[in-house]
Structure 1
Amino acid sequence: MTRRPATGAAVLQPELTRSITEAVLDELAEQGYARLSMEAVAKRAGVGKSALYRRWPAKQAMVIAVLAEFSVGRADIADTGSLRGDLYAVLEGVLEWLAHPRFSRILPDLVAETVRNPELGDIVTSMIGDPRRERGARVLQRAIARGELPADLDLELALDLVAAPIYWRLSVRGGTLEPGYLDTLLDALLPALAASVRR
């Protein structure tokens, strides 16, 4: 028996999904989470609202899915063979993520929204924060296995130490990173990580 080609909800064209994803990011950057609407995203993407609802049941699910796709893959770091090499790649990834022209405008609004909406905060943590931290933990665990970090490393503290300086400089202070900043930061981080053991 010959099967008929899938139609309607069974077909989610990748090109169309990419167009919608770009529209979500643009709307978030320009309008913020609270003012973003499914209608505005559909209009910007040049599609009907049904194209959005075939992919996501509601605005929150759409936003989280798009931001997770944008954010989590950027935390995948290949094994360079050394802690310094791995950490430099991690810092470059954090910098690229936080300094992205659209995401740098989205993140402060999203953080503020999660304070007002704890349910959204829990979802952002589980879909974006936790997966990114898991990938960072793998980098540190590789260094432990190589003997570059202590076996009793406090992983949670170490992960905070790695990400916090760039986040603070870019997202909180609105500053910039001068040439050589990542190397200087690494020089400070490596001994701090070595001392970050569980008490």
Structure 2
Amino acid sequence: MPNAPTPQTPAPAPAPAPERRLPGGPVLQDSVTEAISAAFFEELASVGYARLSLEAVAKRAGAGKAAIYRRWPSKLEMTVALVCAVAVDAPGVTDTGTLRGDVLAFLSEAAGALRHRLPSKIIPDLLAESGRNPELAQALLAAVRDPRRTRATHLLERAIERGELPADVDRELALDLLAGPLYWRLAVVRTPTGPDYLERLTDKLLAAFVA
């Protein structure tokens, strides 16, 4: 799940849930939903998914635990809903008019997320936890990875339509290459990048796509 906001983008704030009324119950206030959402990401970045408790989220948000359960029935569903809101509702893959421009924009967006205080902690933790928690893994694959991967495919399809890539380009491998090297550098080995790193990586990826 390494795709997200641009380097200039502030902390990813989940889109507030629309005000709604539970059957036979009170209206769910947007301000409370926003406070809980912000508290959730801070707590998740601080302690990780395994140690995350709804009690701690509620306390950080200044809300009651019941306010969380009125919105999400479990920690798993809360995590998937809020992470999905950030990852999937983020701006789509930029159409710059060229494959090189599109790839560079994609990498810049991903680098911005991986360098940010919250995603840089949350993304590796959720990926690691998914290896131990099949239920979480399946939920995140369906709600986050698959939609984001589909949107990234549009980058390749545009390039094919412009004649910049052959129609038989290996799409699966190209998608792996788009996300893998940058995630390894910034989230796994955490090595700083020089000012021209994304430019150089873009050129290598373009060469790999047509190799």
Q: Tell whether the structures are fold-level matches, with TM greater than 0.5.
A: yes
The SS at the match of 2:28 is coil
Conservation of the 8 A alpha-carbon contact between 2:94 and 2:102: yes
The SS at the match of 2:89 is helix
- Tell me the TM-score normalised to structure 1 length: 0.89
Q: Pick from 161, 165, 173: which aligns with 2:177?
A: 161
Structure 2 counterparts to residues 8-27 of structure 1, below 5 A? 9=25, 11-27=27-43
Aligned pair 1:100/2:124, yes or no? Answer: no
CA displacement 1:65-95 (0-9 Å, x = unmatched): 1111122233612321111111111111111
Match of 2:73 in 1: 57
The sequence identity of aligned pairs, in percent, is 51
Taking the aligned partners of 1:177 and 1:83, their CA distance within structure 2 comes to 22
Conservation of the 8 A alpha-carbon contact between 1:136 and 1:159: yes
Runs of 4+ in 1 over 4 A off after TM superposition: 6-10
Taking the aligned partners of 2:34 and 2:210, their CA distance within structure 1 comes to 42
Taking the aligned partners of 2:182 and 2:129, their CA distance within structure 1 comes to 21
Shift of 1:149: 0.7
Match of 2:159 in 1: 143
Aligned pair 1:34/2:47, yes or no? Answer: no
Larger Rg: 1
Q: Which has the higher contact order (CA 8 A, sep 6+)?
A: 2
Structure 2 counterparts to residues 47-196 of structure 1, below 5 A? 47-74=63-90, 76-195=92-211
Give the paired residue count: 190
Taking the aligned partners of 1:130 and 1:94, their CA distance within structure 2 comes to 16
Taking the aligned partners of 2:176 and 2:119, their CA distance within structure 1 comes to 20
CA displacement 1:95-142 (0-9 Å, x = unmatched): 122222011111222122111111211111111111111110011111
The SS at the match of 1:74 is coil
Gaps in structure 1 of 5+ consecutive residues:
1-5
The SS at the match of 2:95 is coil
Shift of 1:64: 1.2
Conservation of the 8 A alpha-carbon contact between 2:107 and 2:178: yes
Conservation of the 8 A alpha-carbon contact between 2:21 and 2:28: no
Match of 1:3 in 2: none
- Tell me the TM-score normalised to structure 2 length: 0.85
The structure with more helix, counted as a fraction of residues? 1
Gaps in structure 2 of 5+ consecutive residues:
1-19
Q: CA RMSD in A?
A: 1.6
